[in-house]
Amino acid sequence: MTPSDAPLDSLTGKLLVAMPAMPDPRFAHAVVLICAHSDEGAMGVMVNKPLSELTLLKLLEHLDLPLPGGDTGLGDPPGDMAIHFGGPVETSRGFVLHSPDVQTQEGSAEVAAGIVLSTSIEILAEMARGQGPAQALTALGYAGWGAGQLEGELQAGGWLLADANPALVFETEDSLKWSGTLSGMGVDPRLLSGATGHA
C-alpha cells in the first residue's frame, strides 16, 4: 500500500521523516509526529529540532509558574530540558508530548501508543511542581497542512512514513532521531542522500 492509498485516519500517530531533498529548509531532516489527521487537513509537532536559546526552566519562569522550593515536599524542579521548534504555525503556542502517566482534565489526547499530546498550561504547571510525566517533550509551534496537502507531499516523495514509538520521541538524542528513524525502517540515510543528489 502506498502512502496515498492509506486510509485518511491512519496517519495520526505516524512519524513523517523528511527526505533529503526537502525544499523547505525549516523541515530539513525533520521528524514530525502527526497528532491529528482528517480529510480537512493535518497537524503535527517536530520532535528533533531543539531551540538553542530556550529551556523548560526559562519557559516556566517566563510563564510565572511557581517552581518547587525547599520544604514544599514537591519533586525536583525541571532541569535544562530543551524546548523544541514544533513547526512554523503559531510559534508562541506550546505543546507537550508526554508519557500517559499524567494527563490533564482538558487538552490531553493520546496520539500514539504511549504518547499523549497536551495543550493545556496545566501540564506545564505539573512539570514546574516536579509532578509532571516521567517522559516529556515540550515544543513551541506546530506544522499544519490543509485538505489534501499532506497527501500530495507524500505522493510527491517529500516524506517517508514511520511508526511512532516513545523510545524514539523521548529517549533518543535529537541529533540522532532522523537517521535513527530511517535506520529503524531499514533505510540507510547515506544511500538515501546519495540517491537524491544535493540536499
* Residue 65 clears pLDDT 60, i.e. is over it: yes
Of residues 181 and 81, more confidence is placed in 181
pTM for this model (two decimals): 0.86
pLDDT in tens, 76-92: 555 678 999 999 999 99
pLDDT band for position 67 (cuts 50, 70, 90): low
Architecture of the domain made up of 3-195: 3-Layer(aba) Sandwich (3.40)
DSSP the chain: --GGGS-GGGGTTEEEEE-TT-S-GGGTT-EEEEEEEETTEEEEEESS-EEEEEEHHHHHHHTTPPPP-TTS---PPP-SPEEEE--SEEEEEEEEEE-TTS--SSSEEEEETTEEEE-SHHHHHHHHTT-S-SSEEEEEEEEEEETTHHHHHHHTTSEEEEE--HIIIIIS-HHHHHHHHHHHTT--HHHHHHHT---
* Residue 15 clears pLDDT 80, i.e. is over it: yes
Task: Show me where the domains of the chain are located.
Answer: 3-195
